[in-house]
Amino acid sequence: MAWVVLPSNVSGQPVLKIDHFTACHTELLIPVNIEHFEDVAAFTLYIGVDTGKVEFIDVQDINEVFATGDFIGGINLETQTIIMNWASFTPANLDSGLMCNIRISFKGDTANFNFQDNCEIVRSDLIIIENVEYVDGAVVALSSSFVPDPVSQTVLEGNPATIELLGITEGISSQWQRMENENWIDLSDTSPYSGVQTGQLTMQSVSTDLSGSLFRCLLTNGICNEGSEESELLVTPDGVAELDERMPMQIYPNPVDKNLNCVFNTNFSSAELRLVSAEGITLIFQQLGNIVSGKTIALRLNNVKKGMYVLQLFNNGKKIADSKVLKL
């Protein structure tokens, strides 16, 4: 059957819309909503997706106005396109509502749903509608929607620290957690913590016991829950400023178990750190770039075996300092 493109005398601009929303990594229903679907006899829709992030399952909850014809949904893996088509001798009429839900398995951090240019909607008089508005949508993983600010921070012992998640919307609840013995433990509003069920966690008078701690916020949208990205807290012991400032870099604690703090006593334009074994093998290489005097960074030595190592500081490719490190 050939479609003829002629001006349409039916009022109202048809709209097909997929919303933007957050969800967990699970099976999801992606609503396709429509407006001004008047005297529609057939359509073919092409929705581009990334099949590495979206696994198409089927279409369901099809609006009853399409019951007079065959509503078919599927996916072309080669073109990464969800295809939906429908045709009937009895036209569909719907001012607004749900066309259908696309059931998918969500795998990635973000998945886009983009209507393609070759979509077609046809009236009962075989006229192709030219003024259709297609609104693309997306789904963002709840766990990656909100990144803690800061991702890592160094605070002087006895000072306060805060971690914040920006942009938490209505309908999403929060519970801050701390990693303990490889398990996430809910925090309560007891010293030093406050705001544990808000978008901002506050810690008053942090102690060195918290140095190296990982925090995250467990987010719940009423359907599912996932943890945010992690935020690391490093605590500088009070009095570290009394270290020998004649050295370009000071390290502590030494011996070290997990986190080795490096305090820089001068400016560097292109700094690098290398942790080298007794055999001369570089185990950790970290490019730092510009360093301002007084800055503290932390090297995580969790995966380094017990033993004696040398931490080398380079600037513009030239070795500036060596420091022996005993890993416990």
All structural domains of the chain, each given as residue ranges with its CATH number in brackets, are 15-141 (2.60.40.680), 146-236 (2.60.40.10), 241-327 (2.60.40.3080)
Helix ranges, the chain (H) = 142-145
How many other CB atoms are found less than 10 A from the CB of residue 89? 9
d(Cα 291, Cα 31) in Å, to the nearest integer? 50
pLDDT class for 167, splitting at 50, 70, 90? low
- In this structure, are residues 193 and 244 in contact, taking their beta carbons and an 8 Å threshold? no
How do residues 140-164 score in pLDDT, each as one tens digit?
887 766 778 887 787 878 889 999 9
d(Cα 123, Cα 43) in Å, to the nearest integer? 9
How many other CB atoms are found less than 10 A from the CB of residue 109? 13
Which of 61-75, 132-146, 247-261: highest mean pLDDT? 61-75
How much is the pTM?
0.58
- In this structure, are residues 16 and 47 in contact, taking their beta carbons and an 8 Å threshold? no
pLDDT class for 5, splitting at 50, 70, 90? very low
Calculate the alpha carbon distances from 245 to 28, 241, 266, 294 in Å: 57, 8, 9, 10
pLDDT score, position 6: 39
Calculate the alpha carbon distances from 101 to 41, 87, 178, 209, 319 in Å: 20, 18, 38, 50, 61
pLDDT class for 8, splitting at 50, 70, 90? very low
How do residues 47-82 score in pLDDT, each as one tens digit?
999 999 999 999 999 999 999 999 999 999 999 999
Of 105-114, 126-135, 143-152, 305-314, the least confident: 143-152
Query: What would the mean pLDDT of 245-255 be, rounded to a whole number?
Result: 78
pLDDT score, position 316: 87
